[in-house]
């Protein structure tokens, strides 16, 4: 029962990255929406939709990368619904998000069940395989960890960098950051508040869908009901924890993944003393604790949750 | 180009008409997935109607299904009026059910008229705590209750599994994770012979009446409405915002807990992990469809229950997945949102530019 | 001023919102290099008109022509700020349009580059802005987060934003509302210098004095119509005041009164705000019966903390606060109300009323435990209704009725509702925080009258206002707040107070 020993095994860190990957996508996606001023509670449903749509595309014969594109498209579609309800119509972001989650989930379940009748074990596809990056896999300790990861994990990490760049080094990112603080500022400079917000929500939702797709196309190889299991909500908590910053988002996701991987291993060590459910609860409890710790000082985007209407001054 | 201006006073017709129209639109939209699934639309709708009105049993089944939805709808209504986003009704329901089972499976030996209120009270208390905790985290630490109540749902369900495999396990249950049955004195009485409809419905209706009374006529209800509409003005005016939130939270959670009690002590008789197919979440749609009106919740719950029961029958009859019901419910929520918008604003066509 | 080219022409501009006519067939011309003042009381339609020029609204009818870079008068595409910017029109809004989380440089850059560009070109921008700052004398720290700047600095950023976009026509909406008299002077000096380079300026104001001091021409709006236009050289205060209001203004004479015992005292009170500038530091203040004490100062110097303390929304970190000689230990809005403190909040929509609730409900919101409102926990609808009917009569609150949503009332009527709520309780202490902001003259007069009435009755009033004229008119004594310190003004001339507002010794 040596904590340090667990931390030093490669399999632990490999598992950490695997658990963290969908969270990275989810937190990035939610972060983009919230930076623009809109809370997207559709994330849980979009995860389901991405998981189902991407998987099903592969099941019907398309390539894995096409499957990802399908997931992106589906995520963007549900994001568009949320965007229309919350931006030009200015409806409650909470209710709209929950509605989108319910819609995306029920559409996904219905489609899956209709296309594939009930069987004893869920059908499988050939998922993403571990991806060997030529130079990096030679490195000691880090090498084996990285070479166990699939292309999607690399995509997630690259995406962190891309999002960071866009937010901090491009005019587009500047306008997104501005619109989440004071839409009037953006409007007065001749930019379209609606356009920036709607675009951000669609892009953010597409990225969220990749988080779901990772579950069925990389971590596992089939789709089953209830597989998302609250990961979307955990991402919403992690965004606050990450102070809406891509770099911290990556860190938060990895920390969370580490904790989750740790508790699985801990279970095998001390499993006799505590019922397994205590360990199962741990990720959720941890998220709540993380949220409480940062909540006081959290600097929410100032315009978050506030609808903005053109011409209402 | 269309310009949007707020209507001066949305008329009463709109306020009642919108949910009804939304409901119909949602049902109509369901024809799209039905067609895509290859079903005969008329047969599908016929079977749905059959499942609701086809027999007395069907009708009472629908009411039985509506009972927990009335509770969770009321729970959402109170919370949402205060703009307290209680998404944790599912967990609070199970907390209520666990309390009912803890107290009602033999711990206390008493006649029905004492035991039943005790069970109800235990369930309500348990549910109340389930919502009080996240609300406390909100008022004390500013932790967003949407996330905390959502995550708490998962925690409660895992806790439930733990309890059902541990302290609450039925030793005579042949190894299944289920609780002991509620003792006879604790069971909520049946309302009609050979039907599953039970007294939980009566309790639900009474609760709806009480909630309506308190929300619209009491000072407490006034405070909840004020805090929900503008917390800073309410604070400035001397209303204790934190206490109001806690009050709303406690009542909301308690009523959700009663949903659990009703299902366990009225319908099933014992507790398993699949007691609730998402009643807590569906309650949110019930509340929104009802425009956050307690009386409206009763009607809305009946509507939603009809969808589910009808879809079950349809599913068995023509083989279409019963997830269609969830789809219709989700569509109803979105339709009622859009409908509310249409009611509140009027559309004016303007020429781009000018004369 | 040289008789020269017309750069802007607004023709027959009309605009209505629902049943309210904001602008009625207004005609305005602007010539190169001139400063045109758009004068009118609050609600006259000045801001709406300029908002249409800048593309925030589309007029219902009328047209706008702008002198193009080629020298022709071309019609302006309406309804798009980008089109107005492209035509060389810039606007400094009354409520700044700045993103507080971004730096000054970033705020200026916003919207000025191609949105799909792969990276910023900050060094070019920096150079250009520095040149502008040097030329105009308007300085702002480029890399500082706007949220950390003072109000005066933020306004400079707003102006720099427009100048960066190379505007030829600059509109300033109530630019001096947030400045000390000296800062206002400096601002207009800068502006006049810029007009020599060909910049044409329209500034909106409701202050007669500054309009006379700083413009070449004055156009007066009243109830949405242009009622007069006059070269400043030919105008005087009485003439334009008459144009602005349409009749002789009513004066509220403030009779000298003998002050009574102290009703509110702050002894060495310190309370933290968002920054040291906005925190109160060992403040002393005494207000007596029959007295109005005015607190003058630029916003953001500690007024909010002071107001919060007296409203019961904050606690002092040290020092004591006494009401009627009694030391307050427990701070809450309820407590303050029960001690006879009436509060008129600064932001009436945010803190004063609940827009979605009815007029009747808002009138009793501070009295939820009174006998006539609360019977064993239930609302006494009959007496609430009666109360509302009486009060809307007594205080002339106009609107669709006592059961109408308060959101439907005009700003002036909402303020009357708040006054009704406050004054009916016969408070001993009144906190009046920016009580006439945004109100037309009639409504503002009403507020002033009631405050003086309360003073006559025996209340002690703390008047916090950015409007120095209002302070001078209504106060028996004047304190000036700067960087969280309250100092009494012995010399009550505008200049002296202006210097104190800026933190300098008179």
Q: DSSP for C46-106, please give it.
A: HHHHHHHHTTSS--SEEEEEEE-TTS-EEEPPTT-HHHHHHTTEEEE-SS----TTSBHHH
Distance from CA of C61 to the nearest CA of A (A): 16
> Domains in chain A, ordered, with CATH?
8-117+149-295 (1.10.3470.10)
pLDDT band at residue C299, thresholds of 50, 70 and 90?
confident
Boundary residue ending a domain (C249, C283, C311): C249
Element housing C31 (H / E): strand C20-31
> How large is the average pLDDT for residues B186-208?
89
Decide: A208 and A30 in contact? Cβ < 8 Å: yes
Q: How far is CA A128 from CA A22, A50, A154, A257, C140, in A?
A: 14, 15, 12, 20, 53
pLDDT band at residue B347, thresholds of 50, 70 and 90?
low
Task: Give the integer Cα–Cα distance in Å for B310 and B305.
Answer: 8
- Is the pLDDT score of B34 beyond 90? no
Is B226–C405 a contact, with Cβ atoms under 8 angstroms apart? Answer: no
Question: Is the domain of C215 the same as that of C265?
Answer: no
On whether residue B297 sits in a domain, the answer given is: no
The CATH number covering residue C192 comes to 3.40.50.300
* pLDDT, position A11: 84
* C74: β partners: C66
pLDDT band at residue B3, thresholds of 50, 70 and 90?
low
**What torsion, rounded to 10 degrees, do the Cα atoms C198, C204, C206, C210 define?**
-20
Q: Name the residue facing B341 among A91, A291, A292 (closest C-beta).
A: A91
- Is the pLDDT score of C2 beyond 90? no
Task: Give the integer Cα–Cα distance in Å for A85 and B342.
Answer: 12
- Is the pLDDT score of A203 beyond 60? yes
Question: Is the domain of C29 the same as that of C173?
Answer: yes
pLDDT band at residue A3, thresholds of 50, 70 and 90?
low
Task: Give the integer Cα–Cα distance in Å for B287 and B19.
Answer: 11
Model pLDDT for residues A221-271, shown as the tens digit of each residue: 999 899 999 999 999 999 999 999 999 999 999 999 998 888 888 777 766
* pLDDT, position B355: 30
Is the Cβ of A181 closer than 8 Å to some Cβ of chain C? yes
Domains held by chain C: number: 4
- Is the pLDDT score of B352 beyond 90? no
pLDDT band at residue A296, thresholds of 50, 70 and 90?
confident
* pLDDT, position B100: 94
Residues of chain C contacting residue B220, judged by C-beta atoms under 8 Å apart: 377
pLDDT band at residue A59, thresholds of 50, 70 and 90?
very high
- Is the pLDDT score of A275 beyond 70? yes
Sign of the Cα torsion A181, A185, A187, A192 reads negative
DSSP assignment of C288-325? ETTEEEEEE--SSSSHHHHHHHHHTSS--SEEEEEETT
For chain C, report the end-to-end CA distance as a whole number of angstroms: 35
Question: Is the domain of C19 the same as that of C41?
Answer: yes
Task: Give the integer Cα–Cα distance in Å for C15 and C25.
Answer: 8
Is B240–C79 a contact, with Cβ atoms under 8 angstroms apart? Answer: no
Interface confidence, given as ipTM, is: 0.91
Question: Is the domain of C370 the same as that of C323?
Answer: no
Encoding tokens for residue A174?
A: 């500047």
Q: How far is CA A112 from CA A218, C128, C203, in A?
A: 19, 59, 63
- Is the pLDDT score of A297 beyond 90? no
Residues in chain B, overall count? 355
Question: Is the domain of C84 the same as that of C29?
Answer: yes
Question: Is the domain of C300 the same as that of C273?
Answer: yes
Convert C87-99 to b/e letters by CB count within 10 Å (16 or more is b): bbbbbbbbebbbb
* pLDDT, position B197: 87
Question: Is the domain of C384 the same as that of C242?
Answer: no
Distance from CA of C106 to the nearest CA of B (A): 30
* pLDDT, position C179: 86
Distance from CA of C176 to the nearest CA of A (A): 20
* pLDDT, position B350: 56
Decide: A108 and A232 in contact? Cβ < 8 Å: no
Average pLDDT, whole number, for chain B? 89
Distance from CA of A75 to the nearest CA of B (A): 17
On whether residue B222 sits in a domain, the answer given is: yes
Find which of C53, C84, C97 to mutate to test the A interface (most A CBs within 10 Å of its CB).
C97
Is B151–A92 a contact, with Cβ atoms under 8 angstroms apart? Answer: no
Model pLDDT for residues B230-267, shown as the tens digit of each residue: 999 999 999 999 999 999 999 999 999 999 999 999 99
Convert A224-245 to b/e letters by CB count within 10 Å (16 or more is b): eeebbebbbbbbbbbbbbbbbb
Average pLDDT, whole number, for chain A? 91
- Is the pLDDT score of C481 beyond 50? yes
On whether residue B328 sits in a domain, the answer given is: no
Task: Give the integer Cα–Cα distance in Å for C124 and C109.
Answer: 11
Question: Is the domain of C334 the same as that of C483?
Answer: yes
Is the Cβ of B233 closer than 8 Å to some Cβ of chain A? no
> How large is the average pLDDT for residues A51-56?
96
- Is the pLDDT score of C260 beyond 80? yes
Q: What is the DSSP letter of A87?
A: T
Please name which of B113, B103, B127, B78 lies closest in space to residue B276, comparing C-alpha atoms: B127
Domain that holds residue B209: 70-292
Share of chain B above pLDDT 90, in %: 59
* pLDDT, position A187: 93
Q: Which residue of A has its CA nearest to B332?
A: A99
In the block, which residue shows the tokens 């609780």? B179
- Is the pLDDT score of B353 beyond 50? no
Q: Which residue of C has its CA nearest to A172?
A: C115
Please name which of C319, C341, C340 lies closest in space to residue C329, comparing C-alpha atoms: C319
Is A94–B85 a contact, with Cβ atoms under 8 angstroms apart? Answer: yes
Interface chains of chain C (3 or more CB pairs under 8 Å) = A, B
Is the Cβ of B331 closer than 8 Å to some Cβ of chain A? yes
Domains held by chain B: number: 1
Count CB pairs under 8 A between chains A and C.
Answer: 89
Question: Is the domain of C415 the same as that of C467?
Answer: no
Sign of the Cα torsion B217, B220, B224, B227 reads positive
* C327: β partners: C322
Domain that holds residue C115: 97-165
Q: How far is CA C145 from CA A182, A243, B115, in A?
A: 14, 17, 64
**B contact residues 89-118, partner A, Cβ 8 Å cutoff:** none
- Is the pLDDT score of B282 beyond 90? yes
Residues of chain B contacting residue A233, judged by C-beta atoms under 8 Å apart: 147, 150-151
> How large is the average pLDDT for residues B273-284?
94
Is B354–C343 a contact, with Cβ atoms under 8 angstroms apart? Answer: no
pLDDT band at residue B317, thresholds of 50, 70 and 90?
confident
| E strands, C239-279, in order | 262-271
Find which of A41, A83, A114, A236 to mutate to test the B interface (most B CBs within 10 Å of its CB).
A114
> How large is the average pLDDT for residues C145-152?
90
Model pLDDT for residues B160-176, shown as the tens digit of each residue: 999 998 888 888 878 78
Is the Cβ of B158 closer than 8 Å to some Cβ of chain A? yes
Please list, in sequence order, all residues whose beta carbon lies within 8 angstroms of the beta carbon of residue B149, skipping any fewer than 6 positions away.
B85, B86, B87, B88, B91, B131, B134
* pLDDT, position C1: 45
Decide: C108 and C133 in contact? Cβ < 8 Å: no
* pLDDT, position B47: 85
Residues of chain B contacting residue A284, judged by C-beta atoms under 8 Å apart: 151-152, 154-155, 158
Boundary residue ending a domain (C360, C394, C425): C425
Find which of C18, C354, C421 to mutate to test the B interface (most B CBs within 10 Å of its CB).
C354
Task: Among A140-149, B6-15, C23-32, name the most confident range.
Answer: C23-32
Model pLDDT for residues B284-293, shown as the tens digit of each residue: 999 999 999 9
Encoding tokens for residue A310?
A: 């053109």
> How large is the average pLDDT for residues C456-475?
92
Task: Give the integer Cα–Cα distance in Å for C106 and C144.
Answer: 10
Question: Is the domain of C463 the same as that of C315?
Answer: yes
Question: Is the domain of C159 the same as that of C177?
Answer: no
Question: Is the domain of C324 the same as that of C187?
Answer: no
């Amino acid at each position: 029962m040596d904590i340090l020993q667990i931390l030093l095994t490669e399999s632990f860190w490999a598992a950490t990255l695997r658990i963290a990957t969908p969270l990275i996508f989810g937190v990035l996606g939610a972060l983009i929406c919230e930076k623009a001023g809109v809370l997207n509670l559709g994330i849980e449903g979009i995860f389901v939709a991405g998981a189902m749509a991407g998987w099903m595309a592969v099941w019907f014969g398309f390539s894995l990368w096409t499957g990802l594109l399908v997931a992106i498209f589906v995520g963007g579609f549900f994001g568009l619904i949320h965007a229309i309800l919350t931006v030009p119509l200015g409806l409650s972001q909470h209710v709209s998000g929950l509605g989108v989650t319910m819609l995306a989930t029920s559409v996904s379940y219905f489609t899956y069940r209709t296309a594939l009748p009930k069987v004893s074990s869920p059908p499988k596809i050939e998922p993403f395989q571990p991806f060997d990056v030529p130079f990096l896999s030679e490195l000691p300790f880090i090498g084996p960890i990285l070479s166990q990861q699939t292309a999607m994990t690399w995509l997630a990490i690259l995406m962190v960098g891309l999002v960071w760049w866009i937010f901090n080094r491009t005019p587009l990112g500047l306008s997104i950051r501005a619109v989440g603080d004071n839409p009037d500022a953006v409007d007065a400079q001749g930019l379209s508040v609606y356009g920036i917000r709607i675009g951000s929500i669609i892009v953010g939702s597409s990225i969220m869908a990749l988080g779901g797709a990772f579950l069925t196309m990389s971590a596992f190889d089939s789709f089953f009901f209830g597989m998302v299991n609250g990961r979307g909500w955990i991402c919403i908590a992690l965004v606050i924890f990450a102070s809406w910053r891509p770099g911290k988002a990556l860190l938060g996701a990895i920390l969370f993944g580490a904790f989750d991987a740790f508790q699985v291993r801990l279970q095998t060590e001390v499993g006799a003393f505590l019922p397994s459910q205590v360990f199962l609860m741990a990720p959720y409890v941890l998220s709540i604790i993380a949220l409480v710790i940062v909540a006081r000082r959290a600097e929410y985007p100032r315009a978050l949750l506030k609808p903005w209407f053109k011409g209402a001054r | 180009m269309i310009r949007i201006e707020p209507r001066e006073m949305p008329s009463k017709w709109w306020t009642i008409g919108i949910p009804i129209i939304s409901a119909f639109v949602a049902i109509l939209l369901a024809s799209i997935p039905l067609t895509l699934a290859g079903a005969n639309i008329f047969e599908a709708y016929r079977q749905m109607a059959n499942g609701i009105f086809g027999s007395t049993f069907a009708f009472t089944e629908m009411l039985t299904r509506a009972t927990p939805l009335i509770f969770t709808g009321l729970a959402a209504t109170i919370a949402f009026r205060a703009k307290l986003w209680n998404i944790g009704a599912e967990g609070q329901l199970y907390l209520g059910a666990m309390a009912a089972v803890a107290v009602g499976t033999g711990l206390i030996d008493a006649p029905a008229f004492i035991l039943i209120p005790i069970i109800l009270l235990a369930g309500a208390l348990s549910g109340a705590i389930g919502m009080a905790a996240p609300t406390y985290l909100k008022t004390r630490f500013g932790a967003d209750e949407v996330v905390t109540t959502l995550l708490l749902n998962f925690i409660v369900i895992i806790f439930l599994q733990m309890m059902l495999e541990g302290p609450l396990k039925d030793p005579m249950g042949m190894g299944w994770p289920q609780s002991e049955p509620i003792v006879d004195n604790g069971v909520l009485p049946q309302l009609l012979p050979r039907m599953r409809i039970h007294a939980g419905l009566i309790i639900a209706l009474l609760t709806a009446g009480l909630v309506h009374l308190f929300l619209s006529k009491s000072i407490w209800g006034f405070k909840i409405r004020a805090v929900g509409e503008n917390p800073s003005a309410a604070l400035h005016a001397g209303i204790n915002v934190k206490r109001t939130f806690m009050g709303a939270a406690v009542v909301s959670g308690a009523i959700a807990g009663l949903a659990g009690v009703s299902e366990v002590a009225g319908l099933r008789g014992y507790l398993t992990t699949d007691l609730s197919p998402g009643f807590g979440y569906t309650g949110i749609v019930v509340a929104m469809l009802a425009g956050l009106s307690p009386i409206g919740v009763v009607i809305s719950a009946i509507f939603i229950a009809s969808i589910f029961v009808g879809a079950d029958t349809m599913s068995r009859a023509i083989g279409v997945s019963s997830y269609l019901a969830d789809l219709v419910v989700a569509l109803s929520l979105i339709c009622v949102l859009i409908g509310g918008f249409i009611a509140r604003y009027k559309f004016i066509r303007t020429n781009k530019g000018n004369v | 001023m040289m008789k020269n080219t017309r750069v802007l022409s607004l023709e027959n501009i009309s605009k209505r919102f629902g049943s309210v006519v904001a602008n009625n067939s207004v005609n305005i011309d602007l010539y190169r290099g001139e400063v045109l003042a758009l004068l009118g009381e609050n609600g006259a339609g000045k801001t709406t008109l300029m908002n249409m020029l800048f593309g925030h609204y589309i007029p219902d009818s009328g047209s706008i022509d702008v002198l193009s870079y080629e020298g022709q008068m071309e019609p302006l595409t309406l309804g798009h700020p980008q089109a107005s910017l492209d035509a060389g029109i810039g606007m400094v809004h009354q409520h700044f349009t700045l993103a507080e989380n971004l730096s000054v440089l970033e705020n200026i850059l916003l919207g000025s580059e191609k949105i799909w560009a792969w990276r910023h070109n900050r060094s070019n921008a920096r150079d250009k802005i520095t040149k502008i700052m040097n030329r105009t004398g308007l300085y702002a720290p480029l890399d500082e987060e706007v949220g950390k700047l003072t109000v005066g600095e933020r306004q400079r950023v707003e102006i720099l934003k427009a100048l960066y976009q190379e505007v030829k026509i600059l509109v300033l909406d109530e630019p001096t509302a947030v400045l000390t008299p000296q800062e206002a002077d400096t601002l207009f000096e800068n502006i006049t210098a810029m007009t020599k380079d060909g910049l044409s300026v329209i500034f909106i104001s409701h202050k007669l004095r500054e309009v006379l001091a700083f413009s070449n021409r004055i156009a007066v709006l009243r109830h949405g119509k242009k009622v007069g236009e006059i070269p400043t050289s030919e105008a005087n205060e009485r003439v334009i005041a008459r144009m602005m209001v349409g009749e002789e203004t009513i004066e509220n004479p403030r009779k000298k009164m003998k002050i009574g015992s102290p009703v509110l005292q702050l002894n060495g009170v310190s309370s933290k705000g968002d920054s040291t500038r906005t925190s109160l530091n060992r403040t002393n203040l005494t207000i007596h019966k029959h007295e109005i004490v005015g607190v003058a100062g630029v916003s953001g110097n500690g007024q909010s903390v002071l107001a919060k303390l007296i409203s019961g929304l904050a606690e002092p970190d040290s020092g004591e606060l006494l009401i009627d000689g009694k030391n307050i230990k427990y701070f809450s809005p309820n407590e303050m109300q029960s001690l006879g403190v009436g509060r008129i909040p600064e932001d009436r929509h945010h803190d004063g009323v609940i827009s979605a609730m009815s007029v009747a409900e808002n009138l009793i919101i501070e009295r939820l435990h009174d006998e006539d409102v609360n019977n064993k926990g239930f609302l006494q609808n009959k007496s609430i209704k009666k109360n509302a009917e009486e009060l809307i009569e007594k205080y002339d609150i106009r609107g669709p009725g006592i059961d109408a949503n308060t959101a439907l009332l005009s700003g002036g009527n909402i303020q009357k509702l708040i006054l009704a709520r406050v004054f009916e309780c016969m408070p001993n202490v009144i906190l009046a925080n920016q009580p006439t902001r945004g109100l037309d003259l009639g409504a503002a007069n009403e507020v002033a009258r009631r405050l003086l009435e309360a003073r006559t009755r025996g209340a002690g009033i703390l008047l916090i206002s950015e409007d120095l004229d209002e302070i001078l008119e209504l106060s028996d004594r004047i304190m000036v707040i700067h960087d969280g310190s309250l100092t009494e003004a012995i010399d009550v001339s505008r200049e002296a107070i202006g210097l104190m507002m800026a933190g300098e010794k008179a």
